[in-house]
A and B are shown apart, each in its own frame.
Chain A
């Protein structure tokens, strides 16, 4: 279990998996049990590792039990979709044998997914409201009576102009509510994205922005297009957008969005130029936890 071993395990040769098995009683009655017992009794590094693992094991068990104590009832939309699928199966038993039931199942799944999206959409209302507020505020800054009327009435903005939050040369304007928009010119990678985005702190992203919006992302600077894209992101990701950076990810044009929950936890997602209301065209995502983050393997 080299990837889980303590840093010094490689040098000491302690096999953490073996120690874990030993402590769990898995080795009972095997020759390995006596060998590991002797190593723990006679080798300080094995003894230390065994003690550390035993101590840690109690804490991990508490963590896992805590997770189990968290209520996790089947959501109503999932249950109703499941019941719907069962009823569809029941109503077409003969076609099931012929494979026809798959149609009913898939239809039920589509209905479930649609319902789930609707519910998620409702859950994302805060984000959407925030975005509408952003558009409204931005419009006011843009002194466009027509757009202001559209935004206030709740109609989808139709402007094809760059997002009003972006000032001259598509640089973000400071001081507006909602996500800070920027074009930092950064080429993010999985290794750097969390550090760089977090370092921007959101509010400083605008000031730090020096680059231009990549041409392929121009469409997403339009308020209606940005709103549609952020809606699609919100449907699958919790949190409120704090920053939006029209940048690159692994060399390709990408909009990098920092979604924040509970202060600093949340997610960072990178989406492609095709991001729209029906599909965010997700390029990358990572969970951000407090001061740290989880990243993909």
Chain B
């Protein structure tokens, strides 16, 4: 589910900005239409950023209700979808930072109704998710947006409200950290705290 911005859903010809304006003007169904249009993308980012279904559900709900209430403050300086993502990702980061302060562990994402990959794919996915969950929240959010879901660096920078260079750095450092944790670096054993039964053979030096 790579990033593919859309301006209008199949059931409502209005674009995102028009829907938001309609909501502010009192259209009772406009915000719900907007939410339904972007629900899957927002959910995917929240789920991969938090790694926990219930936390992601709470973060998304908190964020979108907040967006509902403060829609009149949207100034159109970014796309509506970027604004929604920013609110959702910030809600996720707040939760991730709070959780980081507690002695806890990555929780399972899997919940009812979610597709389950099988066999080796499932193990690989679990391994990557687990390693991702151990990154600092800021690095994780950047990686989820850019490298997992393909958002342009500029969009991720707007969503996270940092410079594009910061996004690039967070992604590069995050991938370096993942490489170490997943055992992908040559001449390096997998990190003892996150290792994989499915780690690929390390490449030989050319």
Q: State the A residues within 8 Å of B (CB).
A: 1, 3-7, 16-17, 19-21, 23-26, 48, 51-53, 55-57, 59-61, 63-79, 81-83, 85-87, 89-90, 96, 101, 105, 108-109, 112-113, 116, 119-120, 122-123, 236-238, 262, 264-265, 267, 284-287, 289-297
In this complex, which of B69, B126, B129, B133 has the most chain A Cβ atoms within 10 angstroms of its Cβ?
B126
In the bound complex, CA of A218 to CA of B93 (Å): 41
Interface string of B23-40 (1 = CB under 8 A from A): 000001001100110011
Contact, CB under 8 Å: B115 / A71 = yes
Q: Is the CB of A81 within 8 A of B168?
A: no
B interface residues, tally (CB under 8 Å) = 89
Q: Is B184 an interface residue, CB under 8 A from the partner?
A: yes
* Alpha-carbon distance A238/B122, docked complex (angstroms): 13
B178 within 8 A of A: yes
Closest to B135 in A: A4
Is B48's CB within 8 Å of the partner chain A? yes
Please tell me if the beta carbons of A66 and B203 are within 8 angstroms of each other in the complex.
no
Residue pair A64, B57 in contact (C-beta under 8 Å):
no
Among B42, B58, B206, chain A packs the most CB atoms within 10 A around the CB of B58
Subset of 13 A-B contacts with CB under 8 Å = A4-B176, A4-B180, A7-B188, A7-B189, A61-B147, A64-B148, A68-B148, A73-B44, A86-B64, A101-B69, A105-B65, A119-B112, A289-B123
**Complex contacts, A123 vs chain B, CB 8 Å:** 111-112
Are the CB atoms of A285 and B128 closer together than 8 Å? Answer: no
Contact of B111 among A75, A87, A287, A292 (CB under 8 A): A75
B114 at the interface (CB under 8 A from A): yes
Q: Do the beta carbons of A70 and B32 come within 8 Å of each other?
A: no
User: What is the minimal beta-carbon distance from B91 to any residue of chain A, in angstroms?
Assistant: 13
B residues near A17, Cβ cutoff 8 Å:
173, 176
Residue pair A59, B148 in contact (C-beta under 8 Å) = no
The reply on B97 being an interface residue by CB < 8 A is no
Q: Which of B5-13, B14-22, B77-85, B98-106 contacts A (4 or more CB under 8 A)?
A: B98-106
Instruction: Specify which of B44, B64, B112, B130 lies most central, judged by the most chain A CB atoms within 10 Å of its CB.
Output: B112
Given contacts A68-B148, A82-B61, contact A292 B179 (CB under 8 A): no
* A82 engages B69 (CB within 8 Å): no
Main secondary structure of the interface of B (DSSP, over half): helix
Query: A-contacting residues of B (Cβ < 8 Å)?
Result: 1-2, 28, 31-32, 35-36, 39-40, 42-44, 47-48, 53-54, 57-58, 60-61, 64-65, 68-69, 100, 103-108, 110-115, 117-119, 122-134, 143, 147-150, 165, 168-169, 171-173, 175-182, 184-190, 193-198, 200, 203, 205-206
Whole-angstrom distance between the Cβ of B199 and the nearest chain A Cβ: 9
A157 to chain B, nearest CB (A): 26
Nearest residue in A to B171 (C-beta to C-beta)? A24
Of all chain B residues, which has the CB nearest A109? B61
CB of A12, distance to nearest CB on chain B (Å): 12
Q: Is there an interface contact between B113 and A77, defined as CB atoms closer than 8 Å?
A: yes
In the complex, the answer to whether B1 meets A68 with C-beta atoms within 8 Å is yes
- Min distance, Cβ B124 to any Cβ of chain A, angstroms: 7
Assess whether A55 is in contact with B203, with CB atoms less than 8 Å apart.
Answer: yes
Q: Contact at B122–A262, with CB atoms within 8 Å?
A: yes
- The 8 Å CB contact of A289, one of B65, B104, B126, is B126
Which chain A residue lies CB-closest to B119? A262
A69, A70, A296: most-surrounded residue (chain B CB, <10 A): A70
Alpha-carbon distance between A116 and B112 when the two chains are bound, in angstroms:
8
Q: Is the CB–CB distance between A296 and B104 below 8 Å?
A: yes
A96 to B43, CA, bound (A): 25
